[in-house]
Structure 1
Amino acid sequence: MAEVMLVEDDVALRESMADCLVLLGHTVAEAGSAVELYQLMADKSFDVVVVDINLPHYDGYSITRYLSDQADTGIIITTVRASLEDRVRGYQSGADIYMTKPVEPEELSAAISGLVLKRCVSRTAPIPGTDTATTGEMPGWSYSSTNLELTSPNGRSVRLTRREAMFVDHVVHSRDIVISRGDIIATLGDDTSASSYRKLDSMLCRLRAKTLSHTDLSLPISTVQGVGFSMIAVIAGRG
């Protein structure tokens, strides 16, 4: 799922939360202070850093400002401080998400996964000002259900896993229709649990990254916030 750094000086709370996040599919490292965090980050990068505000020596706001300036990572603040002033200060310091304790592990896990997906999509989105962004269309894509292969307008192809192929095939055959996430999950044969939605988000993130890596073009499938997915290009199906 995600490489997570959990910064919390309450050892019992930190270890409990870390255990829960691991059970929910994440890889978790722990730190009890800014110093420990910076030492660990010297050798390893993380998708998301979850940081408490009330820490020894350097508070969470200081850490958040540092991370937003120095590291390409998502930042989630978790704290007992619930005032408007504190929340505003948290976002101004660079936090992506501000959560008030107590935080349920499932909610934190969902926030982490959503933030990773959002950052992944933003990295692979078409550059504003290009023809794709102007027209909303990238003609020339084709998909082979036989070879499980998606071919871009520049002739480069990307091989799909069977689940990725099922996703792409369903979108291709539902052209001009926004497909709900629930519909996709049913097509993939999964149940409607929260873990299935997380698996779908992770699969799409990997597919976007893989498509960009193999073709130098963004996956021509758009996420419709709060609804589902739709094509932003003509994808011709072939056997």
Structure 2
Amino acid sequence: MPNILIVDDDINILRLLNIHLTEQGYTVFQAKNGMDALEMLKKDACDIAVVDVMMPFMDGYQLTKEIRRDYDIPVILLTAKNQIEDKEQGFKAGTDDYLVKPFEPRELTYRIKALLRRYDHQIDESIVRVGSTTINKKSYEVQSGNRTLLLPLKEFELLYYLASNPKQVFSREHLIEQIWGLDYEGDARTVDVHIKRLRERFSKLTHDFQIKTIRGIGYLLEVQH
């Protein structure tokens, strides 16, 4: 799923959008001002930025200009202003869309999807990104930081499946069915063994995600922010 950068000095807006967009399966990066946002973009590849206009240090118009100069990603401006002059200033700065507060989070989601399609960053289901970790089903490679890993097939497929469905809890039986198939004759402890191996591989390599045990049910992959 795409990575989304949210920039707003209002902690309540950051929390609301983080919850809503994470539930939609997006990976969300948060910044409280323009300077932090630019530093974040240097470290993490983002597919779209949602930027508040009124912020300290650097307003949303200036941040939009900076993003437009260095990155080929769409920008949505969030603002409490609804004057045509303010919209004009936003579009002159290079924004792709404009959303006036208060707004429904679902409307923001629709606009994000539309812009990702327009920029041809639509969801490529063969590639899943969790923070700076990329899981590529075309090459069966996992890129984490500067490391490229080639995992055993079932480990890769298990990681890919969990990362494609972040924050969703799956039973061992469900994972066996999805990864090993209905005709698999082994037992559910196979999942435990593969989860243990994945944890051992990635616990020291990256803090982008954590595979958690949900007692009495199974496992989920949680994105770390």
Residue 60 (structure 1) aligns with: 60
Alpha-carbon deviations, 1:167-193, whole Å to 9, x = none? xxxxxxxxxxxxxxxxxxxxxxxxxxx
Question: Does the CA contact (< 8 Å) of 1:2 and 1:27 recur in 2?
Answer: yes
Alpha-carbon deviations, 1:119-147, whole Å to 9, x = none? 1089xxxxxxxxxxxxxxxxxxxxxxxxx
1:66-145 map, 5 Å = 66-120=66-120
Alpha-carbon deviations, 1:68-91, whole Å to 9, x = none? 111111100011011000001101
Residue 24 (structure 1) aligns with: 24
Residue 10 (structure 1) aligns with: 10
Deviation of 1:42 after TM superposition, in Å, equals 1.2
Question: Does the CA contact (< 8 Å) of 2:8 and 2:52 recur in 1?
Answer: yes
Residue 176 (structure 1) aligns with: none
Unpaired segments of 5 or more residues in structure 1?
Answer: 123-158, 160-239
> TM-score under structure 2 normalisation?
0.52
Deviation of 1:10 after TM superposition, in Å, equals 0.5
Residue 165 (structure 2) aligns with: none
Cα distance, 1:55–1:121 mapped onto 2, change above 3 Å: closer
1:85 counterpart SS class: helix
1:40 counterpart SS class: helix
For residue 119 of structure 1, what is the amino acid of its counterpart?
Y
Question: Does the CA contact (< 8 Å) of 1:64 and 1:94 recur in 2?
Answer: yes
Mapped partners of 1:46, 1:73: distance in 2: 8
Deviation of 1:56 after TM superposition, in Å, equals 0.5
1:35 maps onto 2:22 in alignment: no
1:9 counterpart SS class: coil
Mapped partners of 2:42, 2:21: distance in 1: 23
Unpaired segments of 5 or more residues in structure 2?
Answer: 123-137, 139-225
Deviation of 1:107 after TM superposition, in Å, equals 0.8
1:25 counterpart SS class: coil
Mapped partners of 2:87, 2:25: distance in 1: 28
Question: Does the CA contact (< 8 Å) of 1:2 and 1:112 recur in 2?
Answer: no
Question: Does the CA contact (< 8 Å) of 2:47 and 2:121 recur in 1?
Answer: no
Mapped partners of 2:3, 2:54: distance in 1: 23
> TM-score under structure 1 normalisation?
0.49
1:87-236 map, 5 Å = 87-120=87-120
Deviation of 1:41 after TM superposition, in Å, equals 1.0
For residue 55 of structure 1, what is the amino acid of its counterpart?
M
Question: Does the CA contact (< 8 Å) of 1:7 and 1:50 recur in 2?
Answer: yes
Deviation of 1:40 after TM superposition, in Å, equals 0.8
1:73 counterpart SS class: coil
Deviation of 1:2 after TM superposition, in Å, equals 2.1
Q: Which runs of 4+ in 1 moved over 2 A?
A: none
Question: Does the CA contact (< 8 Å) of 1:3 and 1:48 recur in 2?
Answer: yes
Cα distance, 1:25–1:89 mapped onto 2, change above 3 Å: same
Residue 48 (structure 1) aligns with: 48
Alpha-carbon deviations, 1:35-55, whole Å to 9, x = none? 111111111121100000000
